[in-house]
Protein backbone atom coordinates (compact mmCIF):
# COMPACT_ATOMS: atom_id res chain seq x y z
CA UNK A 1 0.00 0.00 0.00
CA UNK A 2 2.83 2.40 0.85
CA UNK A 3 4.57 1.54 -2.42
CA UNK A 4 1.33 2.16 -4.34
CA UNK A 5 0.95 5.58 -2.71
CA UNK A 6 4.57 6.45 -3.53
CA UNK A 7 4.16 5.43 -7.18
CA UNK A 8 0.89 7.41 -7.55
CA UNK A 9 2.46 10.46 -5.93
CA UNK A 10 5.56 10.20 -8.17
CA UNK A 11 3.38 10.01 -11.28
CA UNK A 12 1.42 13.10 -10.20
CA UNK A 13 4.59 15.11 -9.45
CA UNK A 14 6.24 14.14 -12.76
CA UNK A 15 3.07 15.07 -14.69
CA UNK A 16 3.00 18.46 -12.99
CA UNK A 17 6.63 19.09 -13.91
CA UNK A 18 5.80 18.18 -17.50
CA UNK A 19 2.98 20.74 -17.57
CA UNK A 20 5.34 23.40 -16.20
CA UNK A 21 7.80 22.48 -18.96
CA UNK A 22 5.11 22.91 -21.61
CA UNK A 23 4.31 26.33 -20.18
CA UNK A 24 7.96 27.42 -20.33
CA UNK A 25 8.29 26.23 -23.94
CA UNK A 26 5.18 28.22 -24.83
CA UNK A 27 6.54 31.28 -23.05
CA UNK A 28 9.79 31.15 -25.02
CA UNK A 29 8.52 30.09 -28.45
CA UNK A 30 5.14 31.83 -28.92
CA UNK A 31 5.10 34.99 -31.04
CA UNK A 32 2.59 37.22 -29.23
CA UNK A 33 1.70 38.42 -25.74
CA UNK A 34 -1.71 36.75 -25.78
CA UNK A 35 -0.35 33.45 -27.12
CA UNK A 36 2.28 33.45 -24.37
CA UNK A 37 -0.41 34.12 -21.80
CA UNK A 38 -2.51 31.29 -23.24
CA UNK A 39 0.42 28.91 -22.80
CA UNK A 40 1.69 29.94 -19.38
CA UNK A 41 -1.36 30.56 -17.23
CA UNK A 42 -3.26 27.38 -18.03
CA UNK A 43 -0.18 25.19 -17.83
CA UNK A 44 0.89 26.83 -14.57
CA UNK A 45 -2.48 26.30 -12.92
CA UNK A 46 -2.64 22.67 -14.07
CA UNK A 47 0.96 21.91 -13.12
CA UNK A 48 0.69 23.46 -9.68
CA UNK A 49 -2.53 21.53 -9.04
CA UNK A 50 -0.96 18.21 -10.05
CA UNK A 51 2.21 18.76 -8.00
CA UNK A 52 0.27 19.84 -4.90
CA UNK A 53 -2.09 16.87 -5.18
CA UNK A 54 0.96 14.62 -5.49
CA UNK A 55 2.50 16.09 -2.34
CA UNK A 56 -0.83 15.78 -0.49
CA UNK A 57 -1.08 12.12 -1.54
CA UNK A 58 2.43 11.54 -0.26
CA UNK A 59 1.99 13.25 3.12
CA UNK A 60 -1.50 12.10 4.09
CA UNK A 61 -4.00 14.27 5.93
CA UNK A 62 -2.16 16.49 8.40
CA UNK A 63 -2.14 20.16 9.35
CA UNK A 64 0.62 20.86 6.80
CA UNK A 65 -1.49 19.25 4.10
CA UNK A 66 -4.41 21.53 4.92
CA UNK A 67 -2.00 24.47 4.58
CA UNK A 68 -0.91 23.21 1.15
CA UNK A 69 -4.57 22.85 0.15
CA UNK A 70 -5.09 26.49 1.18
CA UNK A 71 -2.20 27.55 -1.09
CA UNK A 72 -3.68 25.50 -3.93
CA UNK A 73 -7.13 27.09 -3.61
CA UNK A 74 -5.47 30.51 -3.44
CA UNK A 75 -3.48 29.85 -6.64
CA UNK A 76 -6.57 28.52 -8.42
CA UNK A 77 -8.46 31.70 -7.57
CA UNK A 78 -5.76 34.31 -8.14
CA UNK A 79 -3.92 32.96 -11.22
CA UNK A 80 -6.85 33.35 -13.68
CA UNK A 81 -7.66 36.72 -12.12
CA UNK A 82 -4.11 37.98 -12.68
CA UNK A 83 -4.10 36.61 -16.24
CA UNK A 84 -7.37 38.38 -17.00
CA UNK A 85 -6.00 41.64 -15.66
CA UNK A 86 -2.71 41.37 -17.60
CA UNK A 87 -4.66 40.61 -20.79
CA UNK A 88 -6.90 43.63 -20.25
CA UNK A 89 -3.96 45.97 -19.71
CA UNK A 90 -2.04 44.51 -22.70
CA UNK A 91 -5.07 44.93 -24.96
CA UNK A 92 -5.64 48.52 -23.89
CA UNK A 93 -1.92 49.33 -24.30
CA UNK A 94 -1.87 47.82 -27.80
CA UNK A 95 -5.01 49.72 -28.77
CA UNK A 96 -3.50 52.98 -27.50
CA UNK A 97 -0.21 52.39 -29.34
CA UNK A 98 -1.93 51.64 -32.63
CA UNK A 99 -4.13 54.71 -32.49
CA UNK A 100 -0.98 56.74 -31.79
CA UNK A 101 0.85 55.18 -34.74
CA UNK A 102 -2.15 55.38 -37.07
CA UNK A 103 -1.73 51.80 -38.33
CA UNK A 104 -4.55 49.32 -38.82
CA UNK A 105 -5.26 46.61 -36.26
CA UNK B 1 12.02 6.80 -4.19
CA UNK B 2 9.54 9.60 -3.73
CA UNK B 3 12.21 11.84 -2.17
CA UNK B 4 14.51 11.30 -5.17
CA UNK B 5 11.68 12.10 -7.59
CA UNK B 6 10.78 15.27 -5.68
CA UNK B 7 14.40 16.48 -5.56
CA UNK B 8 14.90 15.89 -9.30
CA UNK B 9 11.64 17.69 -10.12
CA UNK B 10 12.69 20.60 -7.89
CA UNK B 11 15.97 20.95 -9.79
CA UNK B 12 14.12 20.82 -13.13
CA UNK B 13 11.70 23.52 -11.94
CA UNK B 14 14.66 25.69 -10.88
CA UNK B 15 16.17 25.42 -14.37
CA UNK B 16 12.78 26.31 -15.91
CA UNK B 17 12.57 29.37 -13.65
CA UNK B 18 15.82 30.71 -15.06
CA UNK B 19 14.63 30.02 -18.61
CA UNK B 20 11.50 32.05 -17.84
CA UNK B 21 13.70 34.83 -16.47
CA UNK B 22 15.18 35.09 -19.97
CA UNK B 23 11.75 36.12 -21.31
CA UNK B 24 11.41 38.65 -18.48
CA UNK B 25 14.77 40.12 -19.58
CA UNK B 26 14.30 40.32 -23.37
CA UNK B 27 10.48 40.71 -23.50
CA UNK B 28 9.52 43.33 -26.09
CA UNK B 29 6.68 44.90 -24.11
CA UNK B 30 5.92 45.34 -20.44
CA UNK B 31 3.05 42.82 -20.64
CA UNK B 32 5.51 40.08 -21.67
CA UNK B 33 7.54 40.80 -18.59
CA UNK B 34 4.42 40.67 -16.43
CA UNK B 35 3.45 37.27 -17.86
CA UNK B 36 6.96 35.93 -17.17
CA UNK B 37 7.01 37.29 -13.61
CA UNK B 38 3.57 35.79 -12.90
CA UNK B 39 4.80 32.39 -14.06
CA UNK B 40 7.99 32.68 -11.99
CA UNK B 41 5.90 33.45 -8.88
CA UNK B 42 3.87 30.26 -9.28
CA UNK B 43 7.03 28.21 -9.89
CA UNK B 44 8.85 29.61 -6.86
CA UNK B 45 5.81 28.93 -4.64
CA UNK B 46 5.82 25.30 -5.81
CA UNK B 47 9.59 25.01 -5.27
CA UNK B 48 9.29 26.35 -1.71
CA UNK B 49 6.55 23.82 -0.84
CA UNK B 50 8.55 20.93 -2.31
CA UNK B 51 11.71 21.90 -0.45
CA UNK B 52 9.71 22.28 2.78
CA UNK B 53 8.32 18.76 2.48
CA UNK B 54 11.63 17.15 1.44
CA UNK B 55 13.61 18.68 4.31
CA UNK B 56 10.65 18.23 6.76
CA UNK B 57 10.72 21.92 7.72
CA UNK B 58 6.98 22.46 7.68
CA UNK B 59 7.13 26.12 8.66
CA UNK B 60 8.25 26.98 5.10
CA UNK B 61 4.77 26.20 3.77
CA UNK B 62 3.54 29.43 5.35
CA UNK B 63 6.39 31.24 3.60
CA UNK B 64 5.06 29.88 0.30
CA UNK B 65 1.57 31.19 1.09
CA UNK B 66 2.93 34.67 1.80
CA UNK B 67 4.99 34.54 -1.41
CA UNK B 68 1.88 33.71 -3.47
CA UNK B 69 0.02 36.62 -1.85
CA UNK B 70 2.84 39.09 -2.61
CA UNK B 71 3.06 37.89 -6.21
CA UNK B 72 -0.67 38.37 -6.80
CA UNK B 73 -0.65 41.88 -5.34
CA UNK B 74 2.43 42.77 -7.44
CA UNK B 75 0.81 41.54 -10.67
CA UNK B 76 -2.42 43.44 -10.04
CA UNK B 77 -0.56 46.62 -9.06
CA UNK B 78 1.79 46.71 -12.03
CA UNK B 79 -0.98 45.84 -14.52
CA UNK B 80 -3.16 48.60 -13.11
CA UNK B 81 -0.27 51.04 -13.39
CA UNK B 82 0.30 50.01 -17.02
CA UNK B 83 -3.39 50.38 -17.81
CA UNK B 84 -4.16 53.71 -16.15
CA UNK B 85 -0.77 55.40 -15.75
CA UNK B 86 -1.38 56.01 -12.07
CA UNK B 87 -2.09 54.06 -8.89
CA UNK B 88 -5.28 55.10 -7.17
Interface test with A, best of B3, B4, B8, B9 (most A CBs within 10 A): B9
Res. A50: pLDDT tops 90: yes
CA–CA dist A69, B65 (Å, integer): 10
CA–CA dist A22, B55 (Å, integer): 28
Res. B62: pLDDT tops 80: yes
Q: Which residue did the predictor score with more confidence, B86 or A58? A: A58
Res. A9: pLDDT tops 80: yes
Confidence at residue A20, expressed as pLDDT on a 0 to 100 scale: 92
pLDDT average, residue stretch B34-58: 91
Sign of CA dihedral B41, B44, B46, B52: negative
Provide the domain limits for residue A27.
2-101
User: What ipTM describes this predicted complex?
Assistant: 0.88
Give the count of domains, chain B.
Answer: 1
Provide the domain limits for residue B15.
2-84
Among candidate residues A95, A101, A77, A48, the one with its CA nearest the CA of residue B31: A95
Of A55, A70, A79, the CB nearest to B42: A79
CA–CA dist A62, B88 (Å, integer): 42
**B16 at interface of A, judged by CB pairs closer than 8 A:** yes
Full-model pTM: 0.87
**B64 at interface of A, judged by CB pairs closer than 8 A:** yes
Give the count of domains, chain A.
Answer: 1
Amino acid sequence: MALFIEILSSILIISGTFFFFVGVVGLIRMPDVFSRMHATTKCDTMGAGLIYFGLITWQGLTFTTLNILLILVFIWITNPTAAHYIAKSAYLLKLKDETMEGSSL
Amino acid sequence: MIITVTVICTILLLIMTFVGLFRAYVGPTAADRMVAINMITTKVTTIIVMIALVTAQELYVSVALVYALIGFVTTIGVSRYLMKGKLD
